[in-house]
């Protein structure tokens, strides 16, 4: 399932990128541990393409959080920016 490009898609990318950075997890490591191709992950984190639900779930496991918390944080970021 692909999450359509919505106002929360770029904030979701920023939220995930921020969590990866704060934990010192590189794109390469994240890609390897989630089985998301590195080029795909790079496009997702850049906000060029939306994450799929499966990708968000895989990343949430890597980040030791839940997908719903990541989406909620992205929604709050989108509201603040609006």
pLDDT score of 10: 85
Q: What would the pLDDT profile of 14-31 be if each residue is shown by its tens digit?
A: 999 999 999 999 999 999
What confidence score (pLDDT) does residue 43 get?
Answer: 95
42-48 mean pLDDT? 93
Residue 40 clears pLDDT 70, i.e. is over it: yes
> Quick one: pLDDT at residue 9?
72
Question: How big is the CA angle at 4 (ends 59 and 30), to the nearest 5 degrees?
Answer: 15
| Pair of tokens at residue 72 | 């909620």
DSSP string, 13-59: HHHHHHHHHHTT--HHHHHHHHT--HHHHHHHHTTSSPPBHHHHHHH
* pLDDT value for 48: 87
- Taken in order of first residue, the domains within the chain and their CATH numbers are 9-81 (1.10.260.40)
């Amino acid at each position: 399932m692909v999450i359509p490009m919505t106002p929360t898609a770029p904030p979701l990318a920023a939220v995930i990128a921020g969590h990866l950075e704060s934990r010192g997890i590189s794109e390469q490591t994240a890609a390897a541990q989630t089985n998301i191709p590195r080029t795909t992950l790079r496009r997702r984190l850049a906000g060029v393409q939306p994450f799929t639900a499966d990708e968000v779930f895989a990343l949430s496991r890597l980040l030791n959080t839940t997908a719903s918390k990541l989406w909620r944080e992205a929604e709050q970021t989108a509201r603040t920016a609006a």
